[in-house]
Amino acid sequence: MNQNKPLILITNDDGYQAKGLRKLISLMRPLGEVIVISTDKVMSAKGHSITTTPTLTATLVESAPDYREYVCNGTPVDCVKVGYQWILDRLPDIVVSGINHGTNASINVIYSGTMAAAIEACMDGIKAVGFSLDSYDLDADFDHLDDYIVAITKDVLENGLPDGVCLNVNFPKRGEEPIKGVKICRQAKAKWIEVYSAIQDERGGTCLKLGGEFVYEDQGDDTDCMATKNNYVSIVPTHFDLTATQYLDQMSRFEHIMDKK
């Protein structure tokens, strides 16, 4: 371990071969000592799932000066946990996750393995950033993100983040114009309306195939979806306290719920 360089842990949810992961690795290697612990397969939409059965493995696949890469058969959150609670002998200075193929703006953050990995690190007091591109294309162009990802990572390493806060960073896909800049945003209100269709499986049984439509329900111009739509990078300061604080008083009726009996 080189104590003078920042220790950067990289993970993702699109598997070790994903172009977005490879781009993130290439951007991080000049910044410090890099440990990659990626998923061994696509683990999109695994949320904050963890593996509780004793089946986890992490296999070293590449080792070089200031660089080690492991492939883990678990979820993105498993990758983070295994990273600094098994492989590393100290906590990383930062966890960066991605670059995800597909947006994690709005409620996609709830389903996202990429962001779950960042949130997990944040829960353990580690600086963490999830990066996502608004394109599901496996061969998407990531080059227009380079300067932003390096600048954001350097800033977080130097200046830190508030306790219990990580960053959900979403990028617009490459357009004709360069990205206009960064907007600090709130998570947009939206929902997925799923449509299941029945298909025949190999044995002649019926399985359900998931489809869906993203329904945008937010009129605000301060949201992550609006920022990326307008060719800005969106950054949402993201935490893991799900308390709807503004409704604590209103809920006090439940404290008297047994009085009626």
Give which of 189, 99, 96 is closest to 135, Cα–Cα: 99
31 counts as binding a second copy under rule CB under 8 A: no
What is the C-alpha separation between 51 and 199, in angstroms, rounded?
29
Closest distance of CB 86 from a second copy, Å: 4
181 counts as binding a second copy under rule CB under 8 A: yes
**Residue from 105, 140, 226, 236 binding a second copy (CB under 8 A):** 236
57 counts as binding a second copy under rule CB under 8 A: yes
Beta bridge partners of 235: 169, 184
155 counts as binding a second copy under rule CB under 8 A: yes
Closest distance of CB 58 from a second copy, Å: 7
What is the C-alpha separation between 228 and 221, in angstroms, rounded?
11
60 counts as binding a second copy under rule CB under 8 A: no
C-beta of residue 132 within 8 angstroms of C-beta of residue 47 = no
Residues of span 98-137 touching a second copy by CB under 8 A:
107, 109-111, 116, 119, 123-125
173 counts as binding a second copy under rule CB under 8 A: no
Number of residues that bind a second copy (CB under 8 A): 83
Tell how far CA 26 is from the center of its chain.
18
Residues of span 1-20 touching a second copy by CB under 8 A:
none
Q: What angle do CA 207, 40, 63 make, to 5 degrees?
A: 175
What is the C-alpha separation between 208 and 204, in angstroms, rounded?
13
- Which residue's CB is nearer to a second copy, number 29 or number 189? 189
What is the C-alpha separation between 66 and 145, in angstroms, rounded?
24
Instruction: Please count the other Cβ atoms lying within 10 Å of the Cβ belonging to residue 188.
Output: 23
91 counts as binding a second copy under rule CB under 8 A: no
Residues of span 237-256 touching a second copy by CB under 8 A:
237-245, 247-248, 250-255
What is the C-alpha separation between 227 and 247, in angstroms, rounded?
28
Q: Segment contacting a second copy (CB under 8 A): 18-26, 89-97, 136-144, 160-168?
A: 160-168
208 counts as binding a second copy under rule CB under 8 A: yes
50 counts as binding a second copy under rule CB under 8 A: yes
